[in-house]
A and B are shown apart, each in its own frame.
Chain A
Amino acid sequence: MISYLIKRIFILIPLFFGIILISFLVIHLAPGKPTGIQTDLNPKVSMEVRKRLEKLYGLDKPLIVQFKDWSFRLIRFDFGSSFIDDRPVWDKIKERMPITILINLLSLLLILIIGIPLGVKSALKQGSLFDKTSSSVVFLGFAMPTFWLALLLMGLLGVHLRILPISGIKSIDFEFLNTGSKIVDIARHLALPVFVSAFGGLAGISRYMHQGMLEVINSDYCTAAFARGLPKNQVIYNHALRNALIPIITILGLSIPGLIGGSVIFETIFAIPGMGRLFFEGVMARDYPMIMGLLVLGSIFTLLGNLLADIAYAWVDPRIRYSK
């Protein structure tokens, strides 16, 4: 297992280097040099902006020097200062990180709690009404655009029925509430964002679980366990499910970039002060340091997520944990 993990960590190094390289290339797309496509549609690209970009990224220095500077700054998480308010980008991100991480974790939890049993049950009742219904629902879930779902739910639950709040994470009178009510208040504010964020992932996990279970149920070892007289439920939980759940770890790791990207949408719609919204604000204001900072950070999160998933996989699967 150790050698497997070392190999995985080793691969991270060139990937990290690649992230630095690509982000460096992206910066140079910025209109710091006259591009000739200056039209009335983007009045924000002014001489002043160009000057600031030059100062920040040293665009007048030779490329190698620029790259070296950029690399060292990234390692120190020095993304420069935001164009909007001159505060260090990293500080602004740090403020917003916890809420985004919280929502995404809750969302992952929801995906697992609902998606896995749904997939398992529909696989076990292959061909039944339950299976057909849940397969259709899952299929529809795949196709549902998250921002539309958000708008629909906002309109229905927030405006018409007024059950749930639709913006921010706290009510105006938050400070006056006791601890219990505070938790409930936050929970009510997070309910829609978490649900919307989890919706697509739910469909995905349910489907993979369904396919995984079908494969595993028909395997030799499940038949053998059944042949030994083990009760059906035991075969399903102790043998089938244990094996079918292992690839889900990898899938969870792979869904992290999607979750991060998706947070832009629902944080913007529900006015959640998280990283996604920060990114959106940066994009709207053409706040290049912020954009670059979040791009690099997003990639690092993805890498970390995948690494965690790999570690978990190596731990859980004995074929890797105890490999020669």
Chain B
Amino acid sequence: MNFLKPLRKNKLFLSGSAIVLFLILCACFAPFIARFSPDAIDVDNILMAPSLKHLMGTDSLGRDLFSRMLFGARISLEVGFIAVGISLIIGMLLGAIAGFYGGFIDSLIMRFVDLMLCFPAFFLILSVVAILEPSILNIMVIIGLTSWMGVTRIVRAQILSLKEREFIQAERIIGSSDLRIIVRHLLPNTFGPILVTAVLGMASAILIESSLSFLGIGVQPPTPSWGNILIEAKSTLGIAWWLTVYPGLAIFITILGYNMLGEGLRNWQKYE
């Protein structure tokens, strides 16, 4: 496992993975760690500052913020994984076809990429979510459908550079089908470069989801999302600082964690 050595010394990678791992654990074990149900309304204890009972305080309906935050982590991770997954699938598909077949279909696909990049992504996402009505599924799919462009370019570039190598020529000579060549030989070689994009894509997806939720067209209440908890934060600005600080901090640290992980991986790849 010699190639793992530089990773062990890579501070960015280590801190980044620590944060991401922590996040995943919180999300997985949310039901066990949370002392209260995220939906438990308690009118006697609204807007309480953080205490031993409510580690992060309560919101304007008396719900425990800490519990809501834990379940919010689940949402963020879910959205992130699926959105990135979708973008990877589309990106690898289009990138492979464009890179492998070249010519007209390559130009067509790349023009399509340029076209998609013309639209301010956030505007496009907002429009579609508004029209299709906000739901977690819609959000995941739409974020995925608007973030495949970078993956496509990377996959295409990688395939273009590998296409003419001997081992691919050898496969052609023995009569392997195009599909087999692409799937078994070319695509696996794209996983390295894509990894960084995927990790950074997680950060981006989580940011978009929380922005949408904050604007009210993302995850709908009462389902807790770090973004939609911040809606309340705005109206209680100056009164309940914990509603502003904790969810935002969570988003910030999550994005930071993924960014660090991504950068760490990128640095590692550079020296390989």
Question: Which of A144, A154, A282, A302 is within 8 Å of B118, CB to CB?
Answer: A302
Considering the complex, give the chain B residue whose CB is closest to the CB of A259.
B120
CA distance A136 to B54 in the complex (A): 33
- Is B120's CB under 8 angstroms from A298's CB? yes
**Could you give, for residues 98-140 of chain B, a 1 whenever the CB lies within 8 Å of some chain A CB and a 0 otherwise?**
0000000000000110111111111110111011110000000
Check A143–B255 contact: CB distance below 8 A.
yes
- Kindly state whether residue B25 has any CB partner on chain A within 8 Å: no
In the complex, A236 Cα to B133 Cα: how many Å?
54
| Residues B131 and A264 in contact, CB atoms below 8 Å apart | no
CA distance A31 to B133 in the complex (A): 10
Residues from chain B with Cβ under 8 Å of A31 in the complex? 131
* Chain B interface bracket (under 10, 10 to 19, 20 to 34, 35 or more): 35 or more
Q: Is the CB of A284 within 8 A of B216?
A: yes
Decide yes or no whether A318 CB sits under 8 A from chain B. no
The answer on a CB contact under 8 Å between B215 and A264 is yes
Give the interface SS of chain B, mostly helix, strand, loop or mixed. helix
B174 to chain A: closest CB distance in Å?
A: 40
What bracket does the count of chain A residues touching chain B fall in?
Answer: 35 or more
Taking the closest CB of chain A, its distance from the CB of B88, in whole angstroms, is 22
CA distance A45 to B244 in the complex (A): 33
Q: A238-270 vs B: 1/0 string, CB under 8 Å?
A: 000000000000000000011011101100110
Query: Interface stretch among A11-19, A124-132, A180-188, A213-221?
Result: A11-19
Task: State whether A155 touches B237 (Cβ < 8 A).
Answer: yes
A9: B residues at CB distance < 8 A: none
Contact A280 B131 (CB under 8 A): no
A295 near B130 with CB under 8 A, answer no
CB atoms of A159 and B238 under 8 A apart: yes
- Stretch in A82-90, A106-114, A222-230, A286-294 touching the partner: A286-294
State the 6 A-B residue pairs at the shortest beta-carbon distance, nearest first: A261-B122, A148-B248, A159-B238, A18-B115, A143-B256, A257-B120
Contacts A26-B124, A265-B215 supplied; 10 other A-B pairs, CB < 8 Å: A15-B111, A26-B127, A37-B133, A41-B133, A145-B252, A148-B230, A291-B131, A299-B120, A299-B123, A302-B118
Could you give 14 example pairs across A and B, Cβ below 8 Å? A29-B132, A41-B220, A42-B133, A151-B234, A155-B244, A158-B237, A159-B237, A257-B121, A261-B123, A264-B122, A279-B126, A291-B127, A291-B131, A298-B119
